[in-house]
Chains A and B, each alone.
Chain A
């Protein structure tokens, strides 16, 4: 390893410069007479916000093509396309617009329902779906920042949910806020322990965290399933189903805007956690050490950072955050008792959320809300239009892929290459980096 270090440390710098440096057009001759407007337009067109918007548009178009191609009426009208092409176009329009209107109505605002209070309910659903995604996404993102890939979201969520659920249905004497807090703390601690195992194994034996977290998912699933089907542990007394009793009201996250909406106070907790993670990563010593380990573990070690300890801490934090997502599931979303499917795939969705949010706290927050909207809207679309909810996965993944590859988006929309701004931009980013590394 040590022999490779000089090469390794050079590679990233090459990698960062080259995308902006196309051969032949180095962008060095900036025309001073070029109008300010064209520069401004180019800046907007090439900004990362613009790329994100275009990526979303492109993904929605691709989703629309899929919907149209598989639609029965479209296929029927395609049969006599040359005699009456209008039929096919109207069929395409009907199927695609119907799908996206129901997606919007299922996720943001439903105009068909009377009154604002009813119409806004889908937005509340969106935020409810987003709440566990936010914290789980933050957990995975924290791991990414330290160079660790936490695929163990499922196991950490299941353990978090089980611990919180057990406290919530069995500690019957406690009053409202204390019971809730104890349940949350128990769930977070259980998630942290489950994540921490992977971190500790990585730190002490070097076991690859990708393997251990995948394996721990299965272990957690079967362990929780066993607890749920054993009397005296998590199973509802007198029942044969692998399901827990309902949560006691004193441990349930109360609804934020009254009982007619599903949104609960977990959303506020999620916002607070986002602020905390932002502070942790950008303002605290510990977060700095996390990022240093993520940038270059060898350099971090030379700088006096205890790399194994940091790996354990990162996985503890990551597991705690993902465990909190499990807590939200049992104390907020499904309070009538949980089964072993309580994680609802959030542990894996969280990876995509973290990637879309580029592992930055507020980016993850926004990405989670977008995914929550897709989730809420996808179910509405499936119910009203008969379009399988899986289309949402396609749209989501295309968005993430395109955002990760700006040159592709630029090529599709024939946007100019950002060569003109390259010198300015790279200088800026280098300046920023210098501040960070100090």
Chain B
């Protein structure tokens, strides 16, 4: 683990230690080779059509029609150039910047879409709108994970927090007829799951992974039981929550592509922007954030300067639960409309993966969440236009890419130093 970083503290060896991490360039080169092979050598004849505007846009962009083979070759060559650039950067013993990786991913995805869309039409705004809405619960879950783990408590119970939030918001919103009451209920429900997590993990010093896994099972069982026994008997009263309407922000909502994707969404999505920005700011720019990170990294030091470690952990975990519960409400009040058994379907685990993929950083975790949402939506869009590869391989793609990314680009992601370790004051 520590073999990569050498500390020149001895005073004698003053030469700069050169750490060249070739994993990134290797991964990019593999994808570049793949793109040459797929988009260039095995190119499909025809013309690819992309619709760029929706009917309500400010400026109507014309439909983009490009020749599939030529565009494929151009984009493949761009990926090769970007990969070569990353090789050059690493050979100069510098790190591959994040924007290069993101740019590479965008070019690769453009090439892929061109290849798939031979003689077919892909609605780009629709693809992106769906991606954002699918990633909303993932991003809320990831923010929950980031806050909790930054303060030193592993949060595997994200799945349970999302599910309980979805359940509570559906029931309360149906009973009261107000989606706002549902939102509050979802936050309370997520906080309740967090209380259990925090109580067992901090007070009773139970292994945090155990508590998280078991709480997921508990919430799944509890909501499943109540759903089959209570909700299905009286669905009109208990399980028909009113949904939030989309709010079209004037002017911003009419910008082509970005407008309908980002500024014509439900209120929950707008809250998501605030939450992500707030967590990113608060974690690194405020006293709360400094203290939160300190109890996650070095609780003894934090305790020495007078921070109440366990109390802070407890309230941070509770806050994390409230945020995840909020994300759970999106399932019932934002997208689906009524609660069904196990409706989160593993979103909490994907959110957990986004936390680790994003290296416990709110912005990166959000990007990871968006990636998962995009990939999930991509396959459903491609399922409609009909893709040349079996749909199962399309469905598999995001997960394969994640494995490659985690192995190649992220490498050894390092959690907060005291993540998962209880603090016992001696």
Partner-B contacts on A (CB < 8 A) = 1-2, 4, 7, 11, 14-15, 18-19, 66, 70, 149, 151, 201, 204-208, 210-212, 214-216, 218-219, 222-223, 225-226, 229-230, 297-298, 348, 351-352, 355, 387-388, 390-398, 400-401, 404-405, 407-408
Q: Are B1 and A298 in contact (CB under 8 A)?
A: yes
Q: Which residue of B lies closest to A351 (CB)?
A: B213
Bound Cα distance from A298 to B207, whole angstroms:
21
Q: Are B399 and A226 in contact (CB under 8 A)?
A: no
Bound Cα distance from A286 to B399, whole angstroms:
32
B387 at the interface (CB under 8 A from A): no
B205 at the interface (CB under 8 A from A): yes
B421 at the interface (CB under 8 A from A): yes
Bound Cα distance from A405 to B229, whole angstroms:
30
Bound Cα distance from A397 to B357, whole angstroms:
29
Partner-A contacts on B (CB < 8 A) = 1-2, 5, 7, 23, 200, 204-207, 209-211, 213-215, 217-218, 220-230, 298, 300, 341, 346, 349-350, 352-353, 356-357, 390, 392-393, 395-396, 399-400, 402-403, 406-408, 410-414, 417, 421-422, 424, 426
Find chain B residues with CB under 8 A from A351 CB: 213
Find chain B residues with CB under 8 A from A4 CB: 298, 417
Q: Are B200 and A397 in contact (CB under 8 A)?
A: no
Q: Are B350 and A397 in contact (CB under 8 A)?
A: no
Q: Are B217 and A396 in contact (CB under 8 A)?
A: yes
Bound Cα distance from A423 to B396, whole angstroms:
56
Given contacts A206-B411, A211-B406, 11 further A-B contacts (CB under 8 A): A70-B229, A204-B407, A210-B352, A211-B353, A212-B406, A215-B402, A215-B403, A222-B393, A351-B213, A393-B222, A397-B221
Known interface pairs A206-B411, A222-B392; A212-B218 also in contact (CB < 8 Å): no
Q: Are A355 and B410 in contact (CB under 8 A)?
A: no
Interface of A is mostly: helix
Q: Are B406 and A391 in contact (CB under 8 A)?
A: no
Q: Are B399 and A394 in contact (CB under 8 A)?
A: no
- Offer 6 A-B interface pairs, CB within 8 angstroms, sorted by A: A2-B7, A201-B406, A211-B406, A212-B406, A400-B210, A407-B204
Q: Are B396 and A223 in contact (CB under 8 A)?
A: yes
Known interface pairs A2-B2, A215-B353, A390-B220; A404-B424 also in contact (CB < 8 Å): no
- Give me the 9 closest cross-chain CB pairs, A-B, nearest first: A393-B221, A206-B412, A390-B224, A388-B228, A226-B392, A397-B218, A405-B204, A394-B221, A390-B225
Known interface pairs A205-B411, A404-B207; A225-B392 also in contact (CB < 8 Å): yes
Known interface pairs A66-B225, A392-B221; A214-B426 also in contact (CB < 8 Å): no
Find chain A residues with CB under 8 A from B421 CB: 11, 15
Give the residue of A18, A205, A207, A215 whose beta carbon is less than 8 angstroms from that of B424: A18
Bound Cα distance from A392 to B226, whole angstroms:
13
Q: Are A210 and B356 in contact (CB under 8 A)?
A: yes
Find chain B residues with CB under 8 A from A218 CB: 395-396, 399
Find chain B residues with CB under 8 A from A66 CB: 222, 225
Find chain B residues with CB under 8 A from A401 CB: 200, 206, 211, 214-215, 218
